Structure 1
Amino acid sequence: MSNVTTAPYGSWKSPVTTDLIVAETIRFGLTAIDGDDIYWIEGRPSEGGRNVIVRRSADGTLTDMNPQPFNARTRVHEYGGGDYAVNQGTVYFSNFADQRLYRLVPGSDPVAMTPAVDRRYADMIVDQQRQRLICVCEDHTNVDREAVNLLVSIPLDGDVNEGVQILQAGNDFYSTPRLNPDGSRLCWLTWNHPNMPWDGCELWVADLDESGFIGSAQRVAGGPEESIFQPSWSPDGTLYFVSDRTNWWNLYRLVDNQVEAVCPKEAEFGLPQWVFGMSTYSFVSAERIICWYAGPSESGLAYIDTRTNTLTPISIPFSSATSIQANERQILFLATSPTSSGSLVRLDLPSGQVEILRRSQNAVIDTGYISDAELIEFPTEHDVTAYAYYYAPKNIDFSAPQDELPPLLVISHGGPTSAASSKLDLSIQFWTSRGFAVVDVNYGGSSGYGRAYRDRLKGQWGIVDVDDCVNAAKYLVERGLVDGERLTIQGGSAGGYTTLCALTFRDTFKAGASHFGVSDLNIFAYDTHKFESRYLYGLIGPYPERKDLYDARSAINHTDQLSCPVIFFQGLEDKIVPPSQAELMVEALRAKKLPVAYLAFEGEQHGFRRAENIKRALEAELYFYSKIFGFQPADTIEPVLIENL
């Protein structure tokens, strides 16, 4: 113990540096299997956030498929996903800069498949029989109206100006077009304003005529209050899908036009469909499904026998698995655990061997600097239990003075239907290894706890989420784990909105950080993209009929109640939460003479992808808290302009 230095919380020197966090770090995206080859997306901060499609051949050779400057990323719904498809070695992908589809034959340059107009494409599948792509199209060519969403087909090799054909139109949104094995039937999801897909959507199935156009179609599941997720055809032509009709997102199938449950369980087999191409299960064969399920009491990777509907857990050293793809030889998925922030994993079926193909972060950090996630349950308003992951300060080189308690950073996740997890997150360890306690809150509205828990936020955004974040902090103060005079809160996007509400309408927190957060719900109601343009109808109320609620829950209208310092981070190309949302609050804090800082990043959209900006944002937030709470960081940090300090 003689080598342990006593120093105030927040001032500890840590090996979890911002350089470590961004160096050689990659973000994994959509996975695919094509014969013996496997594919995935790597988002590389070191290349300006470019999305690269990577192929791993059967012999283990890795190849970057899309050359510089091509960036495989679609902007449909702005959040994207479903950025590429692959068939027999040829890759079809959406390019971020022009949003055109490109065909990429290995050894050749990408060739444009769609015209140079303002249309975006996502969620592609290859119709081998008819030599075409089927995908979602979002048409922005008419600037005087809302974007139009369609299901379309595009020839694999044809005239870029004549090939796009409309297969389905008339509803506000479409996703997940999928062909049955013999190519005779197509299924898809669709929904309309004001619903989001996790509120309610419909699953449709149609026969295709000889020309590949949709013939007779019928809705087989879903509705305004039933969420359907990931319809998929099994190798024997049976249609499977996930539905939350019994509170939990469980697996079902369509047999003789009747819906029957597959392995009912109080757990989630699905997720909120924020992006295209999400996959929580896949078929090893017609008789065996590989899936991930998660619930309050248990979670894991498992096989389901489709003949008996029995579930058999698979022992793996991971706490989550997403983007699952399988065939009769191998299973591919993205995994996290409390000791790893992200891995691309292959399960070889003949041998049963689990192989980590790629890690999002190769750095090895001594466990003496890693704080373990502790799942906590705490009481909140209306006699409800809420959930969070608590991280205590941890650094083997330091201890704090005996009479000092650590500052607490409350994290309010985005979505707001997303969920905090126990995976290793170096941006959390950045704080805990410097002497902060952190609590990552799964407030009411979070996924993973059933539909009823998700629906706690219906009409209550800005209230339930704030209550739960406040009560998580109070719970830790009451347990004597954190300093009640040094409570701070931060969040991005929807989490930024919760943060600003908590700072404005409550006096629990002494400082905060809003990362591209919503401050004026009225502006968000009409100055955002189509996908979320009516989202607030369910979270707040119809607009403009309930403008009173929008006014009441917008922090910008109540800055007279705000009395603590705030730092703001904003991407200047953000189309989801425009820069005006941050700038209005900054001006209000300036006028009140409250300490305020504002960092705006050129070239960034919703969420930061460039290494230098990720690094700057983390360091700037630490610098800001150091000035507010009066400690000296061990790191050398470029100063931040804090007005009114």
Structure 2
Amino acid sequence: MARVSPIPAELVARATVSHDAVQTVGEIVYWIEGRPSGDVLVRWTASDGSQDVLPEGFHVASYVHEYGGGAYLATERDLWFCNAYDQRIYHVSEGRDPVPVTPVPVLPGALRYADLRLLPGSSWLICVRERHEDDGSVHNELVILPGDRSAEPRVIASGDDFYMSPEPSPDGRRLAWVSWNAPLMPWDGSCLWVADIQPDGSLTDPRLVAGGEEESVCQPRWSPEGVLHLVSDRSGWWNLYAWRDDRLDPVITGEFEVAAAPWEFGYRTYAFQGAQVVAVIQQGPRHHLAVRNPDGALERLVLPYTSIKPYLAMAGWSIAFIGSSSALLPTVVLADPDGSVRELASAGLVLVPASLVRPEPFVFSTRDGAEAYGLYYPPLEESDQPPPLLVRAHPGPTANWPLRLDLHAQYFTSRGFAVADIDYRGSTGYGRAYRLQLRGRWGTVDATDCADATLHLAATSRVDPRRMTIWGASAGGYTVLRALATTDAFAAGVARSAVVDLEAWSAAAPKFQAHHAELLHSEHSSEVSEPGIRRPLLLIHGDEDRVTPLAQACTLVQRLGRSSHLLIVPRMGHTLQRPSDVHCVLRVELGHLRSI
């Protein structure tokens, strides 16, 4: 059998184009394409194919909560978007250049917007605004403003710490929205409200529909008939309900998730198709599409995708979404009810199937008798000896590893490594109870779950227990540091953009995450114990990271001394974007793993 060449770092580096935020207007499909130069809005039509929408120099991005999302709104005649450079909302009418409709802030980027909605029957926009004051305070609120800048934005809801998903009813008479307060995150506890919209745009008679400190609600949407739908985890799973006569009626329910943790604005994981509801269903690392028929039956659509991003929209009778699989990078797709698909955009990389391995889901027991989950990637080529293992801890930490093509993992499997992606307790996709198991135990449970996964794999002779490295980014980087400091499972570690000190990070973190660590961390795990880290550690950090400060990584390296190395990537933020940076970091990581 011919030897398969390893996947080149250059190929992985070219896969930096991403696709997000699908919207539709009739049968026209829009999405944001993330390129190394910035986020570009793309429009697809059956007659003209894909075209960039905005003039050169404009990029679509919101920085509300720093994570953004919900950065544009397309209608039949008009387009509004948040410009990445100045965070102002711009209006585009057909054939004209973008015109700003929000005021110039006193401080650059001090006024930010997200979740743009058009009030039906009017030219008024309703959206989330985030105000950054010169004293460092940050205020979130709902505002209404004319789409043509004939008046200043006006606050219509305030007082809670955070707001998301303003949704006017089809008749323009009511507004639904979600709010929550620190220290909770929206996936911990949030509230869904409905109020009446007055002729001047103000809100009256607000009433609580669902939610509270022990219930997460998200994604309110009105059906074409004016029935409010929402996702709630009151059953223990994020399921879909309809609000009728002050009660919640189940629409799509079961031991699966119909929503993703709302890290960003603009998530939409269900859509209306006549009398049917189409939804993204998640069970652990797998996703699929399902249709809920008027009789209540749930029909799974047979499609070649195992991972679907949280953006779903109807284009006529076709379903627009971003799908991927273990052999396919995320791709913008139009799927018909009969199962036929049309792929509109992808990363454009040609991959040899023989160079890829398919991950295998596995379940393992933890040291305290619980169960946790993972994906195991065997090395591409078999050997007489057990392979070295790269364990990966996902960021978040409230997130999970999806079952889709991951070129970072494939880069290492094509070079003789096994890879294990761990959905430690606290991950999403397994219900509310599993998600909350990290509360008060971040830095403990996640670290030991990663270590216990290696024991399971070593006991089945799938890996070499002497050559195991743990890797993580952002919050996953913190898991790496804690695993090295508190367990003996790993011979080395790699941490990208790592959280190092939870208390210091909370003090410097954006408002959205400032209390996240407070809710999750244990009093025994707030700071990494340098004496406990005796294994070689590679830290990778951007010098423009606004989420996890570079200074913390520098301090840790100084304390650890010769057992650690810090790679500072110039002009890099919290994540790798430029192909040249991806190429460089991969080569450095490979060298670190091979030195073990």
Please classify the TM superposition score into its range, dividing by the shorter chain length.
Answer: over 0.9
Q: Secondary structure at the match of 2:484?
A: helix
Identify which of 224, 228, 236 aligns with 2:225. Answer: 236
Task: Write the distance in 2 (CA, Å) between the matches of 1:128 and 1:280.
Answer: 22
1:483 deviates by: 1.2
1:588 deviates by: 1.3
Relative to structure 1, is the Cα distance of residues 468 and 297 closer, same or farther in structure 2, using a 3 angstrom cutoff?
A: closer
1:362 deviates by: 2.4
Once the two structures are superposed, residues 170-224 of structure 1 have per-residue CA deviations (whole angstroms, 9 ceiling, x without a partner) of 1100000011111111100000011100000000001101112111110110001
1:288 deviates by: 0.6
Identify which of 52, 57, 61 aligns with 2:40. Answer: 52
Higher relative contact order (CA 8 A, sep 6+): 1
Task: Write the distance in 1 (CA, Å) between the matches of 2:420 and 2:569.
Answer: 27
1:106 deviates by: 4.0
2:17 corresponding residue in structure 1: 26
1:597 corresponding residue in structure 2: 565
- Asked if structure 2 preserves the Cα contact closer than 8 Å seen for 1:283 and 1:327, the reply is no
Identify which of 541, 548, 558 aligns with 1:587. Answer: 558
2:50 corresponding residue in structure 1: 62
Q: Does 1:486 align with 2:467?
A: yes
Normalization by structure 1: what TM-score?
A: 0.89
- Asked if structure 1 preserves the Cα contact closer than 8 Å seen for 2:448 and 2:487, the reply is no
Relative to structure 1, is the Cα distance of residues 459 and 24 closer, same or farther in structure 2, using a 3 angstrom cutoff?
A: closer
Task: Write the distance in 2 (CA, Å) between the matches of 1:263 and 1:99.
Answer: 37
- Look up the equivalent residue of 1:580 and give its one-letter code: A
Q: Secondary structure at the match of 1:124?
A: strand
Task: Write the distance in 2 (CA, Å) between the matches of 1:617 and 1:167.
Answer: 46
2:489 corresponding residue in structure 1: 508
- Asked if structure 2 preserves the Cα contact closer than 8 Å seen for 1:378 and 1:475, the reply is yes
- Asked if structure 2 preserves the Cα contact closer than 8 Å seen for 1:263 and 1:310, the reply is no
Identify which of 519, 539, 542 aligns with 1:568. Answer: 539
1:150 corresponding residue in structure 2: 141
1:139 corresponding residue in structure 2: 131
Q: Single out whichever of 116-125 and 198-207 deviates more from structure 2.
A: 116-125
1:533 corresponding residue in structure 2: 514
Q: Does 1:335 align with 2:323?
A: yes
Q: Secondary structure at the match of 1:74?
A: coil
Q: Single out whichever of 376-385 and 201-210 deviates more from structure 2.
A: 376-385
Normalization by structure 2: what TM-score?
A: 0.96
Task: Write the distance in 1 (CA, Å) between the matches of 2:339 and 2:375.
Answer: 32
- Look up the equivalent residue of 2:487 and give its one-letter code: R
Relative to structure 1, is the Cα distance of residues 602 and 89 closer, same or farther in structure 2, using a 3 angstrom cutoff?
A: farther
- Asked if structure 2 preserves the Cα contact closer than 8 Å seen for 1:99 and 1:121, the reply is yes
Task: Write the distance in 2 (CA, Å) between the matches of 1:464 and 1:210.
Answer: 52
2:96 corresponding residue in structure 1: 108
1:369 deviates by: 1.4
1:98 corresponding residue in structure 2: 86
- Asked if structure 1 preserves the Cα contact closer than 8 Å seen for 2:61 and 2:83, the reply is yes
Q: Secondary structure at the match of 2:238?
A: strand
Task: Write the distance in 1 (CA, Å) between the matches of 2:63 and 2:201.
Answer: 27
- Asked if structure 2 preserves the Cα contact closer than 8 Å seen for 1:229 and 1:271, the reply is no
Q: How does 1:207-356 map to 2 (within 5 A)?
A: 207-285=196-274, 287-295=275-283, 300-305=288-293, 307-322=294-309, 323-326=311-314, 328-348=316-336, 353-356=340-343
- Asked if structure 2 preserves the Cα contact closer than 8 Å seen for 1:84 and 1:91, the reply is yes
Relative to structure 1, is the Cα distance of residues 570 and 252 closer, same or farther in structure 2, using a 3 angstrom cutoff?
A: same
Q: Does 1:409 align with 2:384?
A: no
Identify which of 345, 348, 352 aligns with 1:362. Answer: 348
Task: Write the distance in 1 (CA, Å) between the matches of 2:354 and 2:411.
Answer: 13
2:423 corresponding residue in structure 1: 442
- Look up the equivalent residue of 1:147 and give its one-letter code: V
- Asked if structure 1 preserves the Cα contact closer than 8 Å seen for 2:16 and 2:577, the reply is no
- Asked if structure 2 preserves the Cα contact closer than 8 Å seen for 1:500 and 1:555, the reply is no
Q: Secondary structure at the match of 2:555?
A: helix
Once the two structures are superposed, residues 540-571 of structure 1 have per-residue CA deviations (whole angstroms, 9 ceiling, x without a partner) of 26xxxxxxx1xx31454x21111011111112
Q: RMSD of the TM alignment (CA)?
A: 1.7
Relative to structure 1, is the Cα distance of residues 356 and 516 closer, same or farther in structure 2, using a 3 angstrom cutoff?
A: same
Q: How does 1:512-527 map to 2 (within 5 A)?
A: 512-527=493-508
Q: Single out whichever of 462-471 and 58-67 deviates more from structure 2.
A: 58-67
Q: List runs of 5+ in structure 2 lacking aligned partners.
A: none
1:328 deviates by: 4.1
- Asked if structure 2 preserves the Cα contact closer than 8 Å seen for 1:526 and 1:533, the reply is yes
- Asked if structure 1 preserves the Cα contact closer than 8 Å seen for 2:303 and 2:339, the reply is no
Q: Does 1:74 align with 2:62?
A: yes
Q: List runs of 5+ in structure 1 lacking aligned partners.
A: 5-11, 542-548, 630-645
1:610 corresponding residue in structure 2: 578
1:114 deviates by: 1.3
Q: Secondary structure at the match of 2:121?
A: helix
Q: Does 1:459 align with 2:440?
A: yes
2:379 corresponding residue in structure 1: 393
- Asked if structure 1 preserves the Cα contact closer than 8 Å seen for 2:283 and 2:429, the reply is yes
- Asked if structure 1 preserves the Cα contact closer than 8 Å seen for 2:27 and 2:315, the reply is no
- Asked if structure 2 preserves the Cα contact closer than 8 Å seen for 1:130 and 1:212, the reply is no
User: How many residues are paired up?
Assistant: 591
1:103 deviates by: 1.3
- Asked if structure 2 preserves the Cα contact closer than 8 Å seen for 1:339 and 1:423, the reply is yes
Once the two structures are superposed, residues 351-390 of structure 1 have per-residue CA deviations (whole angstroms, 9 ceiling, x without a partner) of 753111111x322322221111100111103211110000
Task: Write the distance in 1 (CA, Å) between the matches of 2:285 and 2:312.
Answer: 22
Task: Write the distance in 2 (CA, Å) between the matches of 1:24 and 1:615.
Answer: 11
Task: Write the distance in 1 (CA, Å) between the matches of 2:92 and 2:11.
Answer: 34
1:67 deviates by: 2.5
Once the two structures are superposed, residues 512-548 of structure 1 have per-residue CA deviations (whole angstroms, 9 ceiling, x without a partner) of 111111111120121111000111222026xxxxxxx
Q: Secondary structure at the match of 2:268?
A: coil
Task: Write the distance in 2 (CA, Å) between the matches of 1:13 and 1:517.
Answer: 32
1:143 deviates by: 2.6
- Asked if structure 2 preserves the Cα contact closer than 8 Å seen for 1:280 and 1:321, the reply is no
Task: Write the distance in 2 (CA, Å) between the matches of 1:328 and 1:108.
Answer: 27
Q: Secondary structure at the match of 1:363?
A: coil
Once the two structures are superposed, residues 244-264 of structure 1 have per-residue CA deviations (whole angstroms, 9 ceiling, x without a partner) of 001111111101111111132
